Amino acid sequence: MKEFQLIRQIQQQTSAALANASDAGVSVGIGDDAAVLEVPAGYQLVAATDTLNAGIHFPTDTPAFDIGYKCLAVNLSDLAAMGAVPRWALLSLSLPQAGSDWVQSFTDGFSSLAQRHGVSLVGGDTTSGPLSVSLTALGIVEPGKALQRNAAKAGDVLVVSGTVGGAAYALAQLQAGKAVQERHLLDRPQPRVRLGRALAGFAHACIDISDGLLADLGHVLRASACGARLELDKLPASDAMAQLDDETRWNYQLAGGDDYELLFTLPPQHESMLAKLRRQLDIRLSVIGEIEAQEGCRCTAPGGMDYDPVKSGYEHFQQIP
Amino acid sequence: MKEFQLIRQIQQQTSAALANASDAGVSVGIGDDAAVLEVPAGYQLVAATDTLNAGIHFPTDTPAFDIGYKCLAVNLSDLAAMGAVPRWALLSLSLPQAGSDWVQSFTDGFSSLAQRHGVSLVGGDTTSGPLSVSLTALGIVEPGKALQRNAAKAGDVLVVSGTVGGAAYALAQLQAGKAVQERHLLDRPQPRVRLGRALAGFAHACIDISDGLLADLGHVLRASACGARLELDKLPASDAMAQLDDETRWNYQLAGGDDYELLFTLPPQHESMLAKLRRQLDIRLSVIGEIEAQEGCRCTAPGGMDYDPVKSGYEHFQQIP
């Protein structure tokens, strides 16, 4: 299978899935040297890029469908963290060998998520090489409404969507050769696009959790020149994690990574709006702490004891079999 | 060296090189979940992405500076082929191990070309993995002015910039263990951005030569539903290729790839403007044939004989040591 056939297959599958692509501001799509796109008047462009390498960002046994899904999901998660509306994607696919079945499943996975969020695939390239997927997601946002990392303020409440640590726990079960109870948390993260839109122009700071809660919170705190207190008993856990002892669970929740939930800060007078958001978006939103003037991050265990996650088994998950 | 340090190093080096980045429509640059950019009113967005893998798109001994240069050059070449003005870039870098010296040289190479064309690096990611660079270039173009592949018309003259085949010849010398006379043609192609801008709204079809002259001309002819006649003695050759016999030279020129010159078609009444463009842009522009109604591509050897490149040693260069 040659590159041109591959591109044609991806083009046909994705455009069949997106019959309304002509409405999506695509003036020139797949098949020319570059795509030509219409950013609507009164919007800024938002652009994110992320690469997934086999064995590093996903287990080598991950089904092609889930790789296609996840490469888009992690980038839509970045757009969500900015409060943007996703519009278009460009895909660079490196494959050891180009099998038509593999590409079909990959594209099905990609399209399943692209359709849900109205994203058109407008360009890219395929090449031979170790399995790697690099995706650029483009979206739009109203001027001044983009959420940034550097806007947290002392007194803000700290909120996280969904649950944290489940992807890392699933990966650890996989690495230990155990039955994995919630593999979907690892393979099919839900980009929180609607939540990001609802927060745009309303939340202070926002980031998506890809490196782990503590690491990503650290990015926010450094960019905002402030600190935070986290209450460990408020960290939301997935069903499978309920069986773990506290310290093991906290370690996954604090250090795990790959959750792709949104972590954001709200001025305290807006905390009451969380109930409305939970209802409207059918999403779990947990207040897990607050922003403080003193730099650094302090964790409080149940009962009010300080807890130091670095001394207590903080560990980052990197290599994947 | 951790990912965050790497990103910080690239950010510091590229922003030092681009002191005027604030003028470049960058509302949020490197360091947040995504970049926020201003597409000027009255312009369309143009987006291209291309991946370079070590040993496939560049020899494994290529200096880091040249890898940094080339990953931007091949993408700017795609924007040039659309007639766009380059503005921004996002970079995904996979590295087996992250050496500070390597990253510095890579970034120097990238910045040398980015500065020349006013391109701001606004985002990206770094990850561990086999050496691979994936770049997305974003530019702008006036509505209706983008050059496409599908607009060639019978009677158009067929024009190519610079010389063709030199990159493939340099690669062949390298692969044969011989002294390479014009390695810059392989490692540092010149994206024809100014030429693309001059042609926007004026040429019919345009493409950049990355797969080889015949292959890329084939893309234009299929998209435009027409054919072409090529005159082999008009194909422009680099200095080092003058020593080759005709058939060997033609083979490199027709099938070589990696030239990143622009191949475009002009309505015959505009042919006279080539002299002005040559003078203004200080560039070689060669009329190498014409577009015909009959589909397919026919080559004419000196003296008017038909020449069939498929039967005469047509060969595509792929693997690189």
Q: CB-CB: which of A35, A82, A125 is closest to B51?
A: A125
User: Could you give the CA distance from residue B68 to residue A267 in angstroms, rounded to a whole number?
Assistant: 43
- Residue A231 sits in a domain of what CATH number? 3.90.650.10
**Cβ neighbourhood burial of A145 (10 Å; 0-12, 13-18, 19+):** middle
Q: Phi and psi for A127 in degrees, rounded to 5?
A: -155, 160
In chain A, how many domains are there?
2
Does A136 sit within 8 Å of B90, measured CB to CB?
yes
Q: Is A230 contained in some domain? A: yes
In the structure, what pLDDT confidence band is assigned to residue B126 with cuts at 50, 70 and 90?
confident
Q: How far is it, in rounded angstroms, from Cα B178 to Cα B176?
A: 5
Residue B125: inside a domain? yes
**Residue B57: burial class (beta carbons within 10 Å; 0-12, 13-18, 19+):** buried
Min Cα distance B48 → chain A (Å) is 5
Tell which wins on pLDDT, B60 or A314. Answer: B60
| B128 contacts in chain A (CB < 8 Å) | 53, 56, 318
Q: CA–CA separation, A151 vs A205, rounded Å?
A: 5
Residues of chain B with C-beta less than 8 angstroms from the C-beta of A94 = 51, 53, 132
A47 contact residues in B (CB cutoff 8 A): 34-35, 37, 88, 90, 122-123, 136, 138
Give the span between the Cα atoms of B264 and B208, in whole angstroms.
8
The residue from A141, A169, A189 where one domain ends is: A141
Q: Do B28 and A207 touch (CB under 8 A)?
A: no
Q: Is residue B262 part of a domain?
A: yes
**Domain co-membership, B227 together with B270:** yes
Distance of alpha carbon B26 from the chain centroid:
25
The answer to whether the CB of A133 falls within 8 A of the CB of A67 is yes
Q: Check whether residue A130 and residue A257 sit in a common domain.
A: no
Q: What length does chain B have? A: 321
- Residue B13 CA neighbour count, 13 Å, CB half: 21
Q: Which two tokens stand for residue B175?
A: 């692969």
Tell me whether strands A157-161 and A120-128 are parallel, antiparallel or unpaired.
unpaired
pLDDT for B320 equals 55
The shortest C-alpha distance from B303 to chain A (Å) reads 35
Rounded Cα–Cα distance for residues B83 and A7 (Å): 23
Last residue of a domain, one of A85, A111, A141: A141
HEC string of A154-186?
Answer: CCCEEEEECCCCHHHHHHHHHHCCCCCCCHHHH
* Of the residues B109, B141, B173, the one at which a domain ends: B141
pLDDT in tens, B301-319: 999 999 988 766 665 555 5
CA distance B295 to B226: 5
Is B113 inside a domain boundary?
A: yes
Contact B36 A81 (CB under 8 A): no
- Sort B144 into a burial class: Cβ within 10 Å, 0-12 / 13-18 / 19+: exposed
Q: Which secondary-structure segment (H or E) carries A228?
A: strand A227-231
Compute chain B's Rg from CA coordinates.
Answer: 20
Please indicate whether, in this complex, the C-beta atoms of B33 and A82 are within 8 angstroms of each other: yes
Q: Which residues of B267-292 are buried (b: 16+ CB within 10 A; e: fewer)?
A: eeebeeebeebeeeeebebbebbbbb
Please state whether B257 falls in left (phi above 0), alpha (psi between -120 and 50) or beta: left
Q: Which of A25, A108, A94, A22 is nearest to A64 (CA)?
A: A108
Q: For chain B, give the mean pLDDT.
A: 91
Q: A38: nearest CA in chain B?
A: B44
Pairing of strands A296-300, A227-231: parallel
Which residues does chain B have within 8 Å of residue A50's beta carbon, measured at their own beta carbons?
92, 125
The SS3 call for residue A309 is coil
Q: Is residue A146 part of a domain?
A: no
Taking contacts as CB-CB distances below 8 angstroms, the residues of chain A near B8 are: none
Q: Kindly report the pTM of this predicted structure.
A: 0.93
Q: What was the pLDDT predicted at A97? A: 78
CB < 8 Å to B223, chain A = 31-32
Q: With left for phi above 0 and alpha for psi between -120 and 50, is residue A261 left, alpha or beta?
A: beta
Residues B116 and B92 in one domain: yes
Full residue range of the structural domain in which residue B283 is found: 157-307
pLDDT one-digit tens code per residue, B218-276: 999 999 999 999 999 999 999 999 899 999 999 999 999 899 999 999 999 999 999 99
Q: Is there a single domain that holds both residue B161 and residue B266?
A: yes
Same domain, A137 and A174: no
Can you give the pLDDT at residue B19? Answer: 47
Q: Which residues of A touch B82 (CB under 8 A)?
A: 28, 32-34, 36
> A185 and A295 in one domain?
yes
Q: Is the residue at B314 inside a domain?
A: no
User: How confident is the model at residue B218, as a pLDDT?
Assistant: 96
User: In terms of domains, do B197 and B252 share one?
Assistant: yes
pLDDT at B102 exceeding the cut of 70: yes
Contact between A49 and B139 using a beta-carbon 8 Å cutoff:
no
CATH number at residue B50: 3.30.1330.10
- A67's CB contacts (< 8 A; 6+ apart) are A52, A58, A106, A109, A133
Residue of A nearest to B220 (CA): A32
| A101 in the same domain as A48 | yes
Regarding whether B187 and B135 lie in a shared domain, the answer is no
In a domain, A106, yes or no: yes
Name chain B contacts of A136, Cβ cutoff 8 Å. 47, 49, 90, 136
Q: How far is B242 from chain A (nearest CA, A)?
A: 31
Query: From the list B44, B90, B125, which residue is nearest A36 (CB)?
Result: B44
Q: What is the pLDDT of residue B16?
A: 57
**Pair (B130, B163) in one structural domain:** no
State residue B98's pLDDT score: 65
Asked whether residue B113 falls in the same domain as residue B200, the answer is no
A314 belongs to a structural domain: no
Structure-token match 């997305």, residue found: B136
- Round to whole Å and give the CA distance between A79 and A91: 16
Whether the CB-CB separation of B105 and B64 falls below 8 Å is answered with yes
Query: Are A114 and A120 in contact, with CB atoms under 8 Å apart?
Result: yes
Q: How far apart are alpha carbons A226 and A222 in whole angstroms?
A: 7
* pLDDT by 10s per residue, chain A, length 321: 566 566 677 777 776 555 455 568 999 988 899 999 999 999 999 999 999 999 889 998 899 999 999 999 999 999 999 999 999 999 999 998 767 889 999 999 999 999 999 999 999 888 888 899 999 999 999 999 999 999 999 999 999 999 999 999 999 999 999 999 999 999 999 999 999 999 998 899 999 999 999 999 999 999 999 999 999 999 999 999 989 999 999 999 999 989 999 999 999 999 999 999 999 999 999 999 999 999 999 999 998 999 988 766 555 555 554
My answer on whether A170 and A285 are in the same domain is yes
Residue with tokens 């809660």: A213
Among the partner residues B32, B38, B47, nearest to A35 by beta-carbon distance? B47
Q: Count contacts between A and B (CB, < 8 Å).
A: 192
Mutation target among A30, A33, A56, A217 for the B interface, most CBs of B within 10 A: A33
Q: With helix as H, strand as E and coil as C, how does chain B read?
A: CCHHHHHHHHHHHHHHHCCCHHHHCEEECCCCCCEEECCCCCCEEEEEEEEEEECCCECCCCCHHHHHHHHHHHHHHHHHHCCCEEEEEEEEEEECCCCHHHHHHHHHHHHHHHHHCCCEEEEEEEEECCCEEEEEEEEEECCCCCCEHHHCCCCCEEEEECCCCHHHHHHHHHHCCCCCCCHHHHHCCCCCHHHHHHHCCCCCEEEECCCCHHHHHHHHHHHHCCEEEEEHHHCCCCHHHHHCCHHHHHHHHHHCCCCCCEEEEECHHHCCHHHHHHHHHCCCEEEEEEEECCCEEEEECCCCCEECCCCCCCCCCCCCC
The sign of the CA dihedral B34, A193, A88, A318 is: positive
Instruction: Show Cβ contacts of residue A27 under 8 Å, excluding neighbours closer than 6 positions.
Output: A36, A37, A38, B44, B143, B146
**Of B90, B102, B110, the residue nearest B1 (C-alpha):** B102
Per-residue confidence (pLDDT) for residue B24, from 0 to 100? 83
